Each structure stands twice: as structure tokens, then as C-alpha cells.
Amino acid sequence: MELLERKISAQLEPLPVPVAVTLPGGRRLGTANAAVTLGFRDWSGLAVMAAGQIGKMAEEIVEGRIEVHGRMRDLMAAAASLLPGSPVGSDTGWWTNMVRHAKSLAAHSSPQKDAQQIQFHYDVSDDFYALWLDPRRVYSCAYYRDTGMSLAQAQEAKLDHICRKLLLRSGERFLDIGAGWGGLLMWAAEHYGVDATGITLSKNQHAHVNRLIEEKGLKGRVRMELRDYRELTDERGFDKIASVGMFEHVGRVNMPVYFSQIGRLLRPGGLVMNHGITSGGVYTNQLGAGMGDFIDKYIFPGGELLHVSHVLRELSIAGLEMLDTENLRPHYARTLWAWSDALEQRLDEAQQVLEGTGSARDAGKVLRAYRLYLSGCAMCFEQGWISLHQVLAARPDGRPETGTLKGAQSTYPFNREYMYPR
């Protein structure tokens, strides 16, 4: 125990924020004016901290074996410095690849299992998400076109940025895969006049969006279906397709199916925007130091990340042509901190809302998990351990005369001028 105490004391000294530790017996290590205090109920948690297993520490916090006092921003600043090295691994051995493939197969063994995993996260409580999301409940990376923007303004800028990239036109048939609480679906219908179809596996989101459609008088031009993307058929083909914050749930093993299905649903010459989280490491599908395991257990079961190079490879194999790729990584860091700060300001309300869906004990666990998830992911995007890419692609129609430039074979003008407001 004495050796462990010395190691913990040595870890506390170089941290960027003052951190104190309360040992199981009550003794305190660290400064008296600490920004963050960690209270340990047993010695096993201290061993985890000494080993730099940040994900395992997060699990101990969720389960109530470590108490945290202090701001999430300060806690994450300390956590980044406790890691023994980069959590973005690069193991390319055959055994690692085989295990990775086997885990992906098990996590995505059926559409029913995928639906359960989506509902585990998105159906926690609509009222809970409403406490810290923007009024449109856009649950994906915002676009801070102007650094002075609020979260709500940046989310609207993101919705419009996607619509501009897709060159949406009135009367076009638009599909939103994983439409969430309907932010993009409604924005595209109301501002660009499209005929819009959204799909989701979340029962809560499905009900919410259908209420919005009724309230806004958009029935007949906008529809939201409770449906897996693999089940969707459409003989006419959609003019434009968006998938925002969804393909992280698809799984490495299903990526060929995912992009092939998009290719089938998209009419020749049409455009698709794939917006999603990508791995910071070329060969990894989750973060190390136990962080990926924590996310899989408490937040996104079955979630897998691919490096953008892998995404582009799978997209190309499916017959889609990459037209424009944009990295929004620091935008997502700022978005997540906005969500985290909003939740921190309403912790008592959040606890009450979650208690309404289950026991007080379970509510406390969910709340602690989300506090760590939002702030931890913000830190990871800042550090560059994970990223966010918008990939615009086309299904070439094989006709060189299509488009404003000869050989375009799609509606894409092959310049970026049209994307930005003048």
C-alpha cells in the first residue's frame, strides 16, 4: 500500500490542474486547494489510477466506487495527463485483426441486435437529452462557421452546411438515414422544399418526429419511419441522401453492406453526405486505456470507429465517388463541451428526470456515465485521438454530358464556391 501511495503522489505532482486524492482510510494526498478531489472507497481503484487505465477509472466512478468533486473540464485535463501514452494504438497483427473482426461480427449479428443497441442509447429519455441539447435536439457535431456562435446557431449552421453541400433543390427526394429528433429532416423540408424521408431505430425519436410533422403541417411531404437502413427499398431512387452521426453504429463488418445499400438507394448522378466520427488511428476501432470499453459498456454498445481512409476505401468499393472530405474535429470538441457545460448546470433536474424512468440508483449511474462521456469525448477530440469527417460522394451516372463540367457525371459542380454563403 505504501508503494502505491508513493506512486499516486508522484502522479499528482505534474498534473496541469491541482488534484487531491482521499484514500480508503480517509488520509488525503495532494494540495489543500485542489481543483479536483477523487475519493476512493477501496484500494483497487487506486491501482487502476496508478496504471493509467482511464476507462476503468471512469467505470469505478459510474459504479460509485470513486467520488469526484470538481469541474468536468478540470477532471479531463488531469485525465489526459494520467495516461501512460497515446490511447491510439497501431497493432496490425493477424491475431488483433481477427479478434477485431470477431467482436464486430458478434456486436452486429442481426438487425434486431443493432436496434436494441440503438435504443439502449437514444431511448434513455427525451426529456433528459432536451436538458443539454439545443432546441432542435441536434445530436451531432455543430459547425462553428463564426467563432462567436452559440450552440443553437452553430447547429443551424451545420444543418444548412449539409444542405448546401448536397445542393438540395425544391421537389427533390431526400433521405436522412438515422434522422434523430428530426433537425436535418425538418430544416431540409422547410428551407429547401424537399420531399423528405427519415428513418431511425429509436422508438422515442420516431414518435417525436412524427409529432413535429403533424404540428408543422408537413404530412405528405415529410415522413419518419421506424426502419433499419437495410430494409429500405425504393425503385425510383433518392436524389440526395444524408447520414449524420449514424454510421458509427454500423460496425466494421457491415460497412460494405452499408455503402452498397446507399448506392442502391441513390439515383445515378445523385449525391450523398456521410457525416460521422472517425478513428484517430489508422488501424484501431476504439480508444485504448479502457476508454473504448467504457463507451461500449455504458454509452454506445456495438459502436465502432473507422479511420477516414478505411471509410473512403469502403465507399469507393461500393461504386461511390468521393467528391469532398472535410474534417470538423475541433468543431466537435467545442460542441461536446457545450453539451457538457449545459448538463453540468442542470444536474439536479437531470437526476429527477432520469429517476422518472427508473430507480434513483440507476439514474445516478446514467447521469455519472453521461457526465464522463460528454467531457471525455470533448477531451479526445481536442487531443486528436478521434475525429469527425463529412464525406460528400456521388453515384456517377456514366454520362459525361451530365453536370456543368464535361465528365462530371453528377450534379456536383467540382468546386466549393456554391457551399458557402456570399
CA distance 243 to 212: 20
CA distance 307 to 325: 13
Sheet holding 66-69, edge to edge: 28-29, 19-22, 36-40, 66-69
- Cell, residue 159: 444543418
With 0-12 / 13-18 / 19 or more C-beta atoms within 10 angstroms meaning exposed / middle / buried, residue 401 is exposed
CA distance 288 to 305: 12
Angle between helices 360-383 and 347-355 (to 10 degrees): 130
CA distance 189 to 73: 38
Q: Could you write out the three-class secondary structure of 359-402?
A: CHHHHHHHHHHHHHHHHHHHHHHHHCCEEEEEEEEECCCCCCCC
Pairing of strands 173-177, 238-244: parallel
Q: Is 153 left (phi over 0), alpha (psi -120 to 50) or beta?
A: alpha
The residues annotated as belonging to the active site are 377
**Among 330, 375, 382, 385, CA closest to 76:** 375
